[in-house]
Amino acid sequence: MPTVGDILEYLESIAPPALKMEWDNVGLLCGSRSTPVTKILVALDPFEHVCQEAADWGAELMVTHHPLIFQPLSSITGETSLGRGILTLCRHGISAVNAHTNLDRAEGGVNDVLAQKLGLSDITLVSQDGLLRCGYTPEKTLADFLSQVKTALVCPGLRFVDGGKPVRKVAVGGGSCADEMLQALDAGCDTFVTADIKYNQFWDAHDLGINLIDAGHFCTENPVIPVIAAKIAEKFPDIQVKISESHTDCMKFY
């Protein structure tokens, strides 16, 4: 029977830990490599309700994009949501592994999937750091592209600034990649899709003449989850693999 270690080894072949950024935390963050696995729950985030869902379903392993533990912890108690989640995993013998910035950068990872989801063609790396991707779409107005993004990513809403150009060459960076905007501009992109954009960054885009679209952290990264789940299921056909049914974006638009 496959173990947590076997699943982790496969995930690391898809998203090598060497690709992670130095501040990141990836890999096995809770549990044991030797635990046999029959059920895996896959989700974007390892939040308390996802941990409980894994326990209720009888999973031995939870695979997420975001890390269960990101900053050093001084305690693990039932007084915090994170603490309760970790205690739930430990109580039920559930291991937690994740691939974060290594999956962002990996071939076929977060940003390749995002570019494909938006229907871009001729997808390439934007720069040597391997984070952003860019590709082409048939030339269209920004309004038409905004509609395309909203539909493709099932976004409840978009924040954007009009850079004054039609959309043709698009850069994408799932999650918080707005700091990479100059890379997108230097690569000749007229449009950049990312998330978590700050007020001043919208003004920077306005002044630089690049269309900047904030499609939300969850919506720009969650498309990779069914892809990872499918890869695991194909590699380990005797294991039940399920995408979290309880986890959605908590941000709503009024």
pLDDT value for 127? 85
Give, as one character, the DSSP assignment of residue 94: -
Residue-level pLDDT at 34:
98
* Helical spans, DSSP H, in the chain: 4-14, 48-57, 81-91, 101-105, 110-117, 142-153, 181-186, 199-208, 217-221, 224-235
In this predicted structure, the answer to whether residue 210 has a pLDDT above a threshold of 90 is yes
Give this prediction's pTM. 0.96
pLDDT at 109: 98
Q: Which tokens belong to 183?
A: 């890379």
Lookup: tokens for 182 = 């100059």
pLDDT tens track for 63-113 = 999 999 999 999 999 999 999 999 999 999 999 999 999 999 999 999 999
pLDDT in tens, 111-166: 999 999 999 999 999 988 899 999 999 999 999 999 999 999 999 999 999 999 99
pLDDT tops 90 at residue 191: yes
Place of tokens 């871009």: 120
Domains in the chain, CATH or no CATH each: 4-103 (3.40.1390.30), 107-220 (3.40.1390.30)
- Please give the average per-residue pLDDT across 31-54, as a whole number: 98
Percent of the chain at pLDDT > 70 equals: 100
Model pLDDT, residue 44: 98
Residue 189: which residues within 8 A CB-CB, separation 6 or more?
Answer: 126, 134, 169, 170, 171, 210
> Which positions ≥6 away from 187 have C-beta within 8 Å?
126, 127, 132, 134, 169, 171
Residues 6+ apart with CB under 8 A from 238: 1, 2, 38
